[in-house]
Structure 1
């Protein structure tokens, strides 16, 4: 017996929805026909002279009530038949979509499994390298960051595997220390910021923890800061601030770039949004980073918004509900 894949319930609901819509459309047409026929019959019953043009023609007289009952039964049968045909047609139409989704899901599963082993080996080699360098040196610090990045990538691979299998561990997420995570993300990007001659500062406020997967929050903050780095010229600065905002925790990323221009601000969070004017470094595309940030925020019950933008820079605010 073939085991249904994770998308089977959604595909069946989609087919049922299409069938119901077809049935409703047919029902409206049948009701309209019945009403029109009934009006015509009533009209003829009150004007018998209109139906007696040819006295030699044979006529069959049927009670109007019997005719209406027959029309109603035929109409119901037509509606049920249309619904069944629509449902079967929809199932046949979406079957290739189901196969495509299954192929995609299997590819993500296979890729995730294949990536876990080399990441584990890489982490082991980094640990061996850490034992061969003096603690406190620049080499030790860089190796520690590489190991943190490897752990973050392993977590991302695990999230991909969960998504591919239809599972989710978001409900069991533990409260995350926002300030500690933001500090870790900023530390991992300090070398990149320095290489671009951009100052990266943190202003940590007193905030409550948020209930979200740590790697998801890390990816969101990383996406915001990376976007700011890509649109801030050398000599500029980026400031990451955490603060309480009512029942939410606000993570603000402010840069001193040239602001958002050449694109509608509402489209900045779309996938591969493209600006008509180049930003710092000649970049015109916002890629997937901000789109993923919006998806992560929405999944956690939060939001992402552009608080301000202009020639003096852009400020984006990620708001997440505090853990209760």
Structure 2
């Protein structure tokens, strides 16, 4: 089992085992102490009232109260130590299946990420070959260039998954320009918005930089804009605004949809949370997009909020600490 763990995993599992073991040991120790105290009080009471013993046996054994208390104290300490050992062994046994499940999860992510890298590399090579056979500056060339960009972004995402699975994700991150990333996302989604009859635009209100992986920021913005497009009917508008508010960089995504309904707003960013209303066009939602946006924002020290929602549309704000 240890061969599949990273150092962080092993440390986390050890802490969990110690915590569970201590809780079991403390509970058992409290029971032992309570029993000893009750027995000691009862013995002291009987020693002060011999007439209550109710025995007429001619043969009696007299034991000093101090000796009895010492014996009970030793027995109690032994019981506490035994409870601690039992608690530790029980915790180790209980944590072992969790460790195996964590190892299998990481192994799956590692294998899946590794297997995806080769097809993506082949796809990128084929797109490059196709680009050589089309006239430069044509619509086909433009589309092929966008496909290469999307393929590169997907390859970066796969690489991030692989790094996360191996636990090697603590390397320093250079600041990225928010406007540059947002412009790239808007450019990638213009064709999708046009096919749905939605007007998509971006407005910049300041030049902000944040310390986050560029692809992570791209995924967060992509998730917010894609969610807005999914809930905006044909003829509607989706507007993305960037601004610098104090020491925070803010990305605001507003749409002209029907607003959030059929679900508590506090649950919108939970995994697999979906509204009872179907998205525009009947596109199926798994309730993961906004949850991933929140996880990315939280990991970068930021937050995602619903600033407004109603029949005239929804406004979401992604706030990140400016670098």
Per the normalisation by structure 1, the TM-score is 0.93
Deviation at 1:102, TM superposition (A): 1.7
Deviation at 1:178, TM superposition (A): 0.3
Q: In 2, Cα distance between the equivalents of 1:284 and 1:156? A: 23
1:136-285 to 2 correspondences below 5 Å: 136-169=137-170, 171-282=171-282, 285=285
Per the normalisation by structure 2, the TM-score is 0.94
C-alpha contact 1:268 1:286 (8 A) present in aligned 2: no
Mapped pair 1:64 → 2:65: yes
Deviation at 1:4, TM superposition (A): 5.5
C-alpha contact 1:177 1:208 (8 A) present in aligned 2: yes
Deviation at 1:285, TM superposition (A): 4.2
Deviation at 1:119, TM superposition (A): 1.1
Q: Which residue of 1 aligns with 2:302?
A: 302
**1:143–1:99 CA distance, 2 compared to 1 (3 A):** same
Extract unaligned runs of 5+ from structure 2: none
Deviation at 1:130, TM superposition (A): 2.3
Mean alpha-carbon deviation: is it higher for 137-146 or for 310-319? 137-146
C-alpha contact 1:273 1:285 (8 A) present in aligned 2: no
RMSD: 1.8
C-alpha contact 1:274 1:284 (8 A) present in aligned 2: no
C-alpha contact 1:251 1:317 (8 A) present in aligned 2: yes
Q: In 2, Cα distance between the equivalents of 1:128 and 1:261? A: 47
SS in 2 for 1:252: strand
Q: In 1, Cα distance between the equivalents of 2:206 and 2:44? A: 79
Q: Which residue of 2 aligns with 1:317?
A: 317
Extract unaligned runs of 5+ from structure 1: none
- Per-residue CA deviation, residues 34-84 of structure 1 (Å, 9 max, x unaligned), is 221222122223222212x33325332222222222222222221221221
Deviation at 1:187, TM superposition (A): 0.4
Q: Which residue of 2 aligns with 1:37?
A: 39
Q: In 2, Cα distance between the equivalents of 1:279 and 1:143? A: 29
SS in 2 for 1:221: helix
C-alpha contact 1:257 1:314 (8 A) present in aligned 2: yes
Q: In 2, Cα distance between the equivalents of 1:318 and 1:125? A: 37
Mean alpha-carbon deviation: is it higher for 241-250 or for 177-186? 241-250
Q: In 2, Cα distance between the equivalents of 1:228 and 1:65? A: 78
Deviation at 1:201, TM superposition (A): 0.7
Q: Which residue of 1 aligns with 2:15?
A: 13
C-alpha contact 1:231 1:283 (8 A) present in aligned 2: no
Q: Which residue of 2 aligns with 1:122?
A: 123
